[in-house]
């Protein structure tokens, strides 16, 4: 195989491109947006399994150099009383979860991909594909580009998924928007390697403070899918104020003082299973293939695992169809299990008093008995062949 096309230049597309280069392939990435990512209030945590997969392709430093450790989640109720503390599993203190700005990750991955010889073109939206032994990808600027395989890394609303299977399921709205923001020096200098997660009367929220004093917060807003889409920052702030009214929650102080240009809200989706992963010279990685609730904090890490595993399969199995079957065999159970984990975490949209009590007890129980080692301690050995 000589040339692989990747549609989508998010975490999944860029890591897949780097991994494919690491395996010796020629790669080109086509991203629909005219420019790179913007940084509006958005952050994310890469878990130990995501870091492990980056290490396999000598790219772990891209995260380590721009992030800080996030080792635990301190859970509290709306009265600011502790419910429990969850230590996020990691193989050792050096390689545990790390939190960083989303835009910093995109920028670092894009620079690294280019440095390793990946061609990246912006303003190219995939609209169609023709398969005739090789693939020709068609873009919305009336151009077409040929390759041996097209990897769809085009996110939740993947075009590639539908090109592979017109009957492919669409992601389901979870009933929540996730509001996020960043604000500097508002909260006391508490432990800085730790998430604070609050289970309030009507909703949940949380924050983490970076070593430089910037607090990054999130709030789960139960609402209609498009309800916050046109909200002004003032309306969004008001909505969040109402949601947490009467709760004694540290995060609320951060929400109140966040500047307009650092406030954002995104609808959250779940996609539990995609029956057909590959076909007609195409396959899928990242959110195009599986969408877990953000509460799993695994979307980016799973996307990284996908890209590295796919590259290994293509490197080790010369027959393309067999390589793509192998990729599915190695990944399907794991990614579907992660999405199911997230499904479990979604509570009723606005809990009543009894549901709140049961929820708080369940949270405390989970903190005492975390069952997540299968998830975070996953290891990919680049030097071991997947074909045995």
Ligand X SMILES: Cc1cc2nc3c(=O)[nH]c(=O)nc-3n(C[C@H](O)[C@H](O)[C@H](O)COP(=O)(O)OP(=O)(O)OC[C@H]3O[C@@H](n4cnc5c(N)ncnc54)[C@H](O)[C@@H]3O)c2cc1C
Task: Report the interface residues with ligand X, using CB under 6 A.
Answer: 7-13, 30-33, 44-45, 125-126, 153-155, 159, 178, 180, 266, 268, 286-288, 294, 297-301, 303
**127 phi-psi bin (left φ>0, alpha ψ -120 to 50, beta other):** alpha
Instruction: State the nearest-atom distance from the C-beta of 137 to ligand X, in Å.
Output: 9
44 versus 380: smaller Cβ distance to ligand X? 44
Q: Residue 147: phi, psi to the nearest 5?
A: -165, -175
37 versus 317: smaller Cβ distance to ligand X? 37
Query: For the range 125-133, what are the long-range contacts, defined as Cβ-Cβ under 8 Å and sequence gap of 24 or more?
Result: 125/30, 125/32, 125/159, 126/7, 126/30, 126/32, 126/150, 126/152, 126/154, 126/159, 126/160, 127/159, 128/163, 129/160, 129/163, 129/280, 129/281, 129/282, 131/280, 131/281, 131/282
Question: Are 337 and 272 contacting, i.e. CB atoms less than 8 angstroms apart?
Answer: no
Using CA atoms, how far apart are residues 168 and 161, in angstroms rounded to an integer? Answer: 7
Using CA atoms, how far apart are residues 113 and 16, in angstroms rounded to an integer? Answer: 9
Instruction: State the nearest-atom distance from the C-beta of 316 to ligand X, in Å.
Output: 24
Q: Which residue has the tokens 């800085």?
A: 192
Using CA atoms, how far apart are residues 273 and 161, in angstroms rounded to an integer? Answer: 12
96 versus 299: smaller Cβ distance to ligand X? 299
Tokens of 95: 């390689």
Instruction: State the nearest-atom distance from the C-beta of 339 to ligand X, in Å.
Output: 11
| Burial grade of 229 (CB within 10 A; 0-12, 13-18, 19 or more) | exposed
25 versus 216: smaller Cβ distance to ligand X? 216
Tokens of 176: 């929540």
80 versus 172: smaller Cβ distance to ligand X? 172
DSSP one-letter string for 158-216 = -HHHHHH-TTPPPPEEEEEEEEEEEEES-S----SSEEEEEE-SS-EEEEEE-TTSEEE
209 versus 301: smaller Cβ distance to ligand X? 301
176 versus 244: smaller Cβ distance to ligand X? 176
Instruction: State the nearest-atom distance from the C-beta of 343 to ligand X, in Å.
Output: 15
90 versus 297: smaller Cβ distance to ligand X? 297
Pairing of strands 214-222, 134-139: unpaired
Using CA atoms, how far apart are residues 371 and 366, in angstroms rounded to an integer? Answer: 8
Nearest residue to ligand X on Cβ basis: 299
Instruction: State the nearest-atom distance from the C-beta of 33 to ligand X, in Å.
Output: 5
43 versus 199: smaller Cβ distance to ligand X? 43
Instruction: State the nearest-atom distance from the C-beta of 234 to ligand X, in Å.
Output: 21
Question: Are 286 and 12 contacting, i.e. CB atoms less than 8 angstroms apart?
Answer: yes
Instruction: State the nearest-atom distance from the C-beta of 79 to ligand X, in Å.
Output: 27
Instruction: State the nearest-atom distance from the C-beta of 158 to ligand X, in Å.
Output: 7
Tokens of 327: 């990729």
Instruction: State the nearest-atom distance from the C-beta of 160 to ligand X, in Å.
Output: 7
């Amino acid at each position: 195989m000589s040339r692989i096309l990747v549609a989508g230049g998010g975490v999944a597309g860029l890591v897949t491109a780097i991994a494919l280069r690491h395996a010796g392939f020629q790669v080109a990435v086509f991203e629909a947006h005219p420019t790179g990512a913007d940084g509006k209030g958005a952050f994310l945590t890469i878990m130990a399994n995501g870091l492990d997969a980056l290490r396999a392709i000598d790219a772990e430093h891209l995260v380590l150099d721009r992030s800080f450790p996030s080792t635990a989640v301190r859970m509290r109720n709306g009265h600011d009383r502790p419910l429990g503390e969850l230590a996020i599993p990691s193989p050792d203190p050096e390689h545990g979860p790390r939190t960083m700005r989303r835009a910093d990750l995109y920028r670092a991955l894009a620079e690294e991909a280019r440095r390793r010889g990946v061609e990246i073109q912006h303003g190219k939206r995939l609209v169609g594909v023709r398969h005739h032994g090789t693939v020709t990808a068609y873009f919305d600027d009336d151009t077409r580009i040929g390759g041996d395989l097209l990897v769809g890394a085009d996110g939740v609303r993947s075009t590639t998924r539908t090109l592979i299977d017109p009957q492919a399921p669409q992601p389901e709205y979870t009933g929540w928007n996730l509001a996020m923001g960043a604000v500097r020096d508002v909260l006391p200098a508490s432990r800085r390697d730790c998430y604070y997660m609050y289970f309030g009367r009507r909703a949940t929220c949380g924050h983490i403070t970076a070593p430089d004093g910037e607090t990054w917060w999130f709030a789960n807003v139960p609402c209609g899918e498009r309800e916050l889409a046109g909200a002004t920052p003032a309306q969004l702030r008001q909505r969040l104020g109402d949601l947490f009214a009467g709760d004694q929650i540290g995060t609320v102080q951060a929400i109140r003082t966040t500047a307009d240009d650092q406030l954002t809200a995104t609808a959250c989706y779940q996609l539990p299973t995609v029956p057909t992963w590959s076909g007609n010279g195409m396959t899928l990685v990242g959110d195009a293939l599986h969408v877990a609730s953000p509460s799993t904090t695994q979307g980016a890490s799973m996307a990284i695992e996908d890209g590295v595993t796919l590259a290994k399969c293509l490197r080790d199995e010369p027959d393309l169809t067999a390589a793509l079957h192998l990729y599915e065999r190695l990944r399907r159970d794991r990614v579907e299990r992660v999405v199911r984990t997230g499904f479990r975490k979604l509570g009723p949209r606005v809990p009543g008093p009894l549901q709140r009590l049961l929820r708080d007890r369940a949270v405390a129980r989970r903190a005492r008995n975390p069952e997540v080692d299968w998830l975070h301690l996953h290891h990919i050995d680049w030097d071991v062949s997947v074909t045995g």
